[in-house]
Chains A and B, each alone.
Chain A
Amino acid sequence: MLRGARESESAVNSKKNPSQGKRPVNLDLTSLQFPLPSLVSITHRISGIILFVGLIFLFWAFDVSLSSPAGFDAVKDAITGNALAKIVCWGLLSALGYHLVAGIRHLLMDIGYGESLEGGQRGSQLVIVISAVLVILSGVWVW
């Protein structure tokens, strides 16, 4: 009896609101505006992933270079002569530079600097300028 009552109640509920549970969610990221501090933050994460994956290759190259004099020469030739290896090196150094600068900004924010609306904007602009300089310098260093 009780069960029957409950069942009919839930039937009424589901009739009253057929959409509940399959309601759409507006989360089309292309329709949203992302302010500079959020872009700086997501790039910090992406550069972290790039570093994580890239370090596998760096360690591998490091291992080869330490295995024998021939291995050392092979890695050295690749880094000084091969354009692709140079681009990879430059890319990893750029990711490192950016990740470092943006990470220091996060640490500063953790101790209370740059947490205002303007402070967040200015901090992000500073991260972009400083890391751009680092990216150019690392390019100069590699070539």
Chain B
Amino acid sequence: MKKLIILIGCMLFLSFTVSAQKFITKTGHIKFFSESPLEKIEAHNRQVNAALDVATGDFVFKVLLKSFEFEKALMQEHFNENYVESDKFPNATFMGKVINIKDVNIGKDGVYDVVVEGKLTIHGVTQQISQKGSFEVKQGKIAVKAKFSILLSDYGIKIPAAVANNISKSVETSIDANLDLFNQTSR
């Protein structure tokens, strides 16, 4: 019996030390922006979930598409109904790795350039992507920043000819997420 307790104790300790390297947020911010000759479209989502394991570099994102807020209610309705079809595909996800996680020193405040590679899934279509971004380490927290563009046709999002002048083919996406150390015991 003692052995079992020790064993379980060890495993709990192990899992704790593993989780102690995880950083997490549920209030990340993603903004996207599309500018065309006729219309400027901007949307914000401030409920982005993200987790980063600084030991392995594993990095995941989960974005509820219905949480994007637009300036015009009608744009929001069209975004959900006609473009990303959020009833069918409620989330956009990213699963990948920070390939140069070794360069990031969590113990030392500073801005680190990172390269992230992995699978981005939007509208049920998965694409392998590689993007540059930055991690700003400050007092044990990590501010993740990245800016890149998403080509809508890569994800099977069709723009009808009638509104082709209103919506640009690619949207500028920027990510701004402050990750905190994930503390399992506090949950």
A is bound by B? no
Chain B contacts to A: CB under 8 angstroms: none
